[in-house]
Chain A
Amino acid sequence: MSYKAKFRIWRGDANSGGLDDFTVEVNEGEVVLDVIHRLQATQTPDLAVRWNCKAGKCGSCSAEVNGRPRLMCMTRMNLFAENETVTVTPMRTFPVIKDLVTDVSFNYQKAREIPAFAPPAGVKPGDYRMAQIDVERSQEFRKCIECFLCQDTCHVIRDHEENKTSFAGPRFLMRIAELDMHPLDAADRQKAAQEQHGLGLCNITKCCTEVCPEGIHITDNALIPMKERVVDRKYDPLVWLGSKIMRRPGAADQQALERREPTWPAAEGQHAVSEFTSENPGALSPFGEDQALPLPTESLGYEHPGPGDTPNR
């Protein structure tokens, strides 16, 4: 059950350091962080490591195990052969403070540069209405535990210090996507994503997605759609139309949202489609504000809801 493992751990500070070898006991079911803790308790009491929940929920114990960005608390020792040397080094993209602890302030700086959620005007607390299917896109990104492994592995900034000022990194580009896809966010974020936060530098190699301990599809669900939104909203009418169809109206249009499905209201003066009440015929329609209605249905790629059929829910 229990065996002696060979560990090689980077020790040092901002000025100097190197790999030290240790032989340490490992028991059944343990993870790399358990072994680091045993080293602290028995051999090297001042070995610096950042950790917190030890359950993969806080994202503190990020490091590189055999060169691969990982959470130490979620890296089981049975991944490695008993005679294999396990090498643990600090995250390479951030400056070392001591041993396995790095200075991750870059990330907090980038977090500040992304404008916060902009609440919709005129919607009181308690009156927010959003459909589950609409919040799920952003909810995926909000699973992020900010372990910064995606930032660590992203080759735009890994070994490229010079890109750090102009590139927010996958975690914070995903934050922009999260806000852009928030059903009630009132700000326009697409231009800034490209011009200020370096979305264009990402060349979608998906390294960030591969290391994400939460399994978030950073590239496919956040970065690529964000790139499409940025590029295509000007040039590609189909994507633009798609975004109109997919996007739900804000809470100000809540009544319309509630009435559109599943049944038409019976009461007089209550219309299911909001263009009847707006100044501009066709405005706020799911087909876009500059379309003359009705369009030939076969040209839309859109199926009208029938009984028991609720699209996008």
Chain B
Amino acid sequence: MTDLERHSYDVVIIGAGGSGLRAAIEARQQGKRTAIICKSLFGKAHTVMAEGGAAAAMGNANPHDNWQVHFRDTMRGGKFMNHWRMAELHAKEAPDRIWELETYGALFDRTPDGKISQRNFGGHEYPRLAHVGDRTGLELIRTLQQKIVSLQQEDFAATGDYEARIKVFQECTITDILKDNGSIAGAFGYWRESGRFVLFQTPAIVLATGGIGKSFKVTSNSWEYTGDGHALALRAGSTLVNMEFVQFHPTGMIWPPSVKGILVTESVRGDGGVLRNSEGKRFMFNHVPDVFRKQYADTEEEADRWYTDPDNNRRPPELLPRDEVARAINAEIKAGRGTDHGGVYLDIASRRTPEFIHKRLPSMFHQFKELADVDITKEPMEIGPTCHYVMGGVEVDPDTAAAAGVPGLFAAGEVSGGMHGSNRLGGNSLSDLLVFGRRAGLGAASYVDSLGVALPEVRESDVDDARKAALAPFQTDGGENPYSLHQELQQSMNDLVGLIRVENEMAEALERLAKIKERAAYLSVEGHQQFNPGWHLALDLRNMLSVAECVARAALHRQESRGGHTRDDYPTMNPQWRKINLICSIKGDEIDVAEQPIPTVPVELLSLFERSELEKYFTDEELAVLPEGK
């Protein structure tokens, strides 16, 4: 295959969002020749959509904040399904990662004494989110992008070539990971622009491909979120952990239909917005679960005092973790107290001045004005739950981000699993990207060092197979239309494996998925390989189907309700299930789900909590390790 474009790199990063770029910076700074491959243009990744901020216990807004408090909030938010070590590393390292961004040129909003300002967010005990208005994700991606450019400028000064040590391959999609004797050897893909194939030979791959939202109909995720990294890892022989935990963000736009699902930032609530049903009632007070009752206000008066005096009042229930708020909204709508368009009201207009709203929520103002013709300084917004984030993902080693079972494969950010347990707190995603992006870059670099000169090699027959698989949709005449199959998949997942789940519906979803999978083997694509969206979708569909099946199978298996997994037929949390991680792998052509014990939280970290709180999540035997009196 002489006409194939070939590249050779020490480390290849798939995905150019926050975690991918941070991993690339680290790998390059460790002296590794690094390639970044992304499906979109450089700087367009889904990270730009993040609005609220990046959680880090810097203590700028409240000096009581520290990593232990952040760790506690993260574990609580995840209902103690989090990998404790990831939550610990994340809480400890997030402040350094944020401060580092300032040295790259980031400009966060400031406190009166000139430090980075921090805002309140659901589930965080103190104001903790470093932010820039409500466009924090844009600031993050642009800052990392500009840091990469600055590294390229250094390389240019040293070698005369901007791309000597770090190169971005944009609008390029990876379709297969290639191995040699079980270890990573390369990645095969195509240029979206020309449709031509390209091979990257590399001993180390960092997956940073983000999430899976495009398998659902109503989602805040962009087209890129087709679960590529999840599927690539599965096919490469790695495993996915707890794929049943999918976060439905409580506040997505619902009207007009063409914008259904687009995110409305949680900052609206952090800055004083409240949820009301069609009767005008502020309903969240009726939906505070017992486990959170101690931390949340039970009267409107106390909740309203909290914004200015958080030390002496409890938080408004609008700021409960996202899973709780999403379920509450769903319950109100089901009880017939929803709006005409099937949502509830999010009201900041009656609570804050127009000046305040313009200053704190400029892009929300813009978004509603432009897309829905709603002036949020005058009218309430109509919102409803939207598929937002997948907590499940590639099973990784917390310290190195190495993916289970495949030497040379790493994963960071949304594509990895474990960090957020059963439910992610707002603001913990951007900091996750930075903390584990860096660790993945380091992990990949030291793995490459450990190999010495004996590098894995790509087999030509594997390259042939990958090429054949990618071209298959052009070989079929009169087959299925990828667009219609995609719509069917999204509808099935939305209706049957959505926010509220029940056994027979999930079983039906699996039947439907099996049929879609059969039909997807005969996709037809018109036209040629050059920038052909039909073909691109046909290839992405394969990934979406695998991932959707993982979600459905794992969701059917877990017989309890916890975080981003709510079962009508098993409505409560069960401490026995807390001890079990569900691990998805591919056996032949089938997705297999296996139970695996969750790693044990060390006593010193458990001791950060009150025993009375732990008793709600853990079994008595698990708590026997705690010292007397705790």
A13, A31, A99, A132: the one within 8 Å of B371 (CB): A31
Within 8 A of B (CB), among A129-181: 129-132, 135, 138-139, 142-146, 179
In the complex, residue of chain B having the shortest beta-carbon distance to the beta carbon of A132: B110
Most buried by B among A52, A130, A144, A215: A52
Residue B44, interface by CB 8 Å: yes
On whether the beta carbons of A142 and B223 are closer than 8 Å, the reply is: no
Chain B interface residue bracket vs A: 35 or more
CB A130 to nearest CB in B, in angstroms, measures 6
On whether the beta carbons of B104 and A117 are closer than 8 Å, the reply is: yes
**Which residues in B have their C-beta under 8 angstroms from that of A138?**
107
In the complex, residue of chain A having the shortest beta-carbon distance to the beta carbon of B524: A45
B138, B147, B484: the one within 8 Å of A143 (CB): B138
**Which residues in A have their C-beta under 8 angstroms from that of B58?**
126
Additional 4 contacts, C-beta under 8 A, given A29-B372, A131-B110, A142-B139: A27-B257, A30-B257, A49-B533, A50-B41
Could you tell me which A residues sit within 8 Å of B by CB distance? 13, 27-31, 34, 40-41, 45-60, 74, 76, 97-99, 101, 104, 108, 111-112, 115-117, 119, 125-126, 128-132, 135, 138-139, 142-146, 179, 182, 185, 215, 254, 257-258
CB B295 to nearest CB in A, in angstroms, measures 29
**Which residues in B have their C-beta under 8 angstroms from that of A98?**
193, 530-531
Q: In the bound complex, how far is the Cα of B132 from the Cα of A50, in angstroms? A: 27
CB A181 to nearest CB in B, in angstroms, measures 10
Could you tell me which B residues sit within 8 Å of A by CB distance? 40-44, 46, 48-49, 58, 95-96, 99-100, 102-105, 107-110, 112-115, 117, 132-133, 135, 138-139, 142, 146-147, 149-150, 152-153, 156, 162, 193, 222-224, 255-259, 262-263, 363, 366-367, 370-373, 481-484, 487, 525-528, 530-535
On whether the beta carbons of B532 and A46 are closer than 8 Å, the reply is: yes
**Which residues in A have their C-beta under 8 angstroms from that of B526?**
45-46
On whether the beta carbons of B149 and A119 are closer than 8 Å, the reply is: no
Q: In the bound complex, how far is the Cα of B525 from the Cα of A139, in angstroms? A: 45
Q: How many A-B contacts are there with CB distance less than 8 Å?
A: 178
In the complex, residue of chain B having the shortest beta-carbon distance to the beta carbon of A48: B531
Secondary structure call for the A interface: loop
Q: In the bound complex, how far is the Cα of B109 from the Cα of A142, in angstroms? A: 12
**Which residues in B have their C-beta under 8 angstroms from that of A143?**
135, 138
Q: In the bound complex, how far is the Cα of B482 from the Cα of A115, in angstroms? A: 45
Contact of A146 with B525 at beta-carbon distance under 8 Å, contacts A52-B223, A53-B49, A58-B48 already known: no
Q: In the bound complex, how far is the Cα of B365 from the Cα of A56, in angstroms? A: 12
**Which residues in B have their C-beta under 8 angstroms from that of A129?**
113-115
CB B141 to nearest CB in A, in angstroms, measures 9
**Which residues in B have their C-beta under 8 angstroms from that of A101?**
193, 531
Q: In the bound complex, how far is the Cα of B44 from the Cα of A144, in angstroms? A: 12
Q: In the bound complex, how far is the Cα of B372 from the Cα of A146, in angstroms? A: 23
Q: In the bound complex, how far is the Cα of B104 from the Cα of A129, in angstroms? A: 15
**Which residues in A have their C-beta under 8 angstroms from that of B43?**
146
Contact of A29 with B255 at beta-carbon distance under 8 Å, contacts A108-B42, A116-B150 already known: yes
**Which residues in B have their C-beta under 8 angstroms from that of A116?**
105, 146-147, 149-150, 153
**Which residues in B have their C-beta under 8 angstroms from that of A49?**
533
